[in-house]
Structure formats: structure tokens, C-alpha cells
Amino acid sequence: MPEKEKIVFCTGGGCTAKLGAGVLSHILEKLPRGEKDPNLLVGYDSRDDAAVYKITEDIALVQTVDFFPPMVDDPYTFGQIAAANALSDVYAMGGEVKTALNLVCFPESMDLNVLGEILRGGAEKVAEAGGILAGGHSIADTGVKYGLSVTGLVDPHHIYANDAGRPGDKLILTKALGVGLICTANRVGEAAPEHLAGAIQSMTTLNKTAAQISRKYAVHAATDVTGFSFLGHLHEMMGGKLACRVDARRVPVLLGAWEAADAFLYTAAGQRNRNHTGPFVRFENVPFAMEEILFDPQTSGGLLLAVAPQDADALEAELKKVGLPAAIVGKILEKEEKQPEITVIF
């Protein structure tokens, strides 16, 4: 078989290419709101993972879009990762994927076989999700970017909003952290092949199974952990009205991530995450490398679930049974005056 075509690595690929959360917040606050539509159940006000619009009493649309430059050299693998990342937002809202549209930016001077491999990887993930690839849009550009616009369905009475957690809820993370650090290490030739393979396996794994299992239990809130990091998305889950305590020793971490953090292979996006979310976090005896992992931007990361305490152990056990590195990593608390929003212990 001929050797697979490769694409040149784009600096800041994957979810590290996102604008910082602080920049987005400033811009969104200035956008015209228009008339409020009571059928828009979830918009950008809560900084949620996707929009939800009610069609009937029992059916609501879930709409999301995500695309970015590559973070791996193999175009087929990049297509899989980008698609899995975009599809994840529907799962984070408690929905099921129905249709997807390709979004492509591609240089006309580049071999079209590369584009074909990217689209093949994405199409396979849409099919695995049970969705239909229904079309798309392409732009001639100076660099490669790919992703999806995805539509799903959800019962409007069972939406997973990101900020609806309750005091006492346990926090469950379904995938290990560290893909940003490992991809950065790979870019400079410092990642062991097995560490990169582990990161790729994580990024190409759909959150479909985790979402399906979670629906059996009392999940009050959910998000997927992507570019704003574990702590950044956890900050959004607290919504300014809750607090939480995280045991960093229980947080699943990909092999190679700690070594990359110790070698100072940080991303600019990780430092933006620290600057934006750091003021809301208190660390107690947490090694600096672990801090960096918690601020590390994830691409196609896992679900972070706020689960009723009586269901948490059973949900964790069932997720582990299907091979996911899921773990109870913390607990939501009542927010008290002068208390940090997020306390991380080690």
C-alpha cells in the first residue's frame, strides 16, 4: 500500500486554536439580542455547548458547529478527531446526532487526496454516531481547517445544561486529560509514539457510549471538556452560583502528559486558560505539572457530568465496565462568601 499522505502540522491546531474565553465573553456581551423567543431553551447566555430550540413539547433541536486546524499529521486521523470533537457537543446536551454538514478550508495547491482522507475520517465518525452526512461548504484558504455543523434531537424535559448542577452532586470525568500537552510534545519531536497513540485513541473515541450510559442515571448537568480546559469548563458549570472541590489525584491523566508538563511543553492556549480561570481556583499542595494538566486545552475531550450522589458510584462503575477511564473527581458545594469557586486538592 502507498504511504499515507501527510499534512503539515498547523501551530495551534485542534482546540488550542480557539479564541480565549475572556475575549469571547467580551464580544458576546455586545451582540444585539433581538426579541426573546421562549422556544430557545439554551442559547449563548450560559456559554453552553450547543443551542437548543424547542419544536414540540417532546422534541427539541440541538445545533452546534466546530472546526479547527490539524493537530496531527495524518489527514484521515485529523478528520476523525475533528468530527468526534464537533459531534461531542450534542452528547454533552443529552441529545442524539441526526445530521451533519462538512466545513472545509483547503488550499487549492494541495493534493486533493489529502482532503479526501480528511473527509473520509469525518464521514466514518458521523456514521458511527448514527448520523447522516447531508452536505457542507468549502473555502479555498491558505491553511487546512475542518469540522462539522451538527444537528441533533433531545427531549426538552431532559436537556443536560452545563450550569444546572446541585450542591452534593458528584463530578464524573469520562476521558483522561493531557492531549494538548502531548500534541505539543509531538510537534517538537518529544512525544513517545505510544503516548501520541494514546492521545489519538482518546480524541477519536466518541462520547456516544458515555452519553447513552449517563441517561440511565440522575445527571443534573454536563459539558464536554475541550479548548477551555477541565478547570475552564468546570468554572462555566459553576455558573457563578455554585462551588466545588476537586481531588486532583483522582483525575485521569494520559500517559506522557505529566512528562510534557514537567518539560514545560505548554501551549499558549493553556496559559490563556490559566489567566482567565486561575482567579477562581485555589490549589492546595497540587504539583505545578498537575496544574498545567488541569488548564490544558483538550481536543475531543470527555464529558464532565454532575450526578446525583446516590447514582455516582454506579455510573462510574458502568462507564469503567465499557473501558472508559471514567472517575469521580470531585463534588459540588454550596457557594459561600469568600470561598473560592473551585478548590483543587492533591
280-318 as b/e: b if 16+ CB within 10 A = bbebeebeebbbbbbbbbbbbbbbbbbbeeebbeebbeb
177, 225 contact by CB (below 8 A): yes
DSSP letter for 108, please.
T
CA dihedral 324, 227, 70, 291 (to 10 degrees): -80
DSSP letter for 67, please.
E
Alpha-carbon distance values, 310 to 22, 218, 314 (Å): 36, 9, 8
Coil, strand or helix: which one is 111?
A: coil
Residues 6+ apart with CB under 8 A from 166: 220, 306, 308, 332
What values do phi and psi take at 196, rounded to 5?
-65, -40
Q: Which residues are catalytic?
A: 15
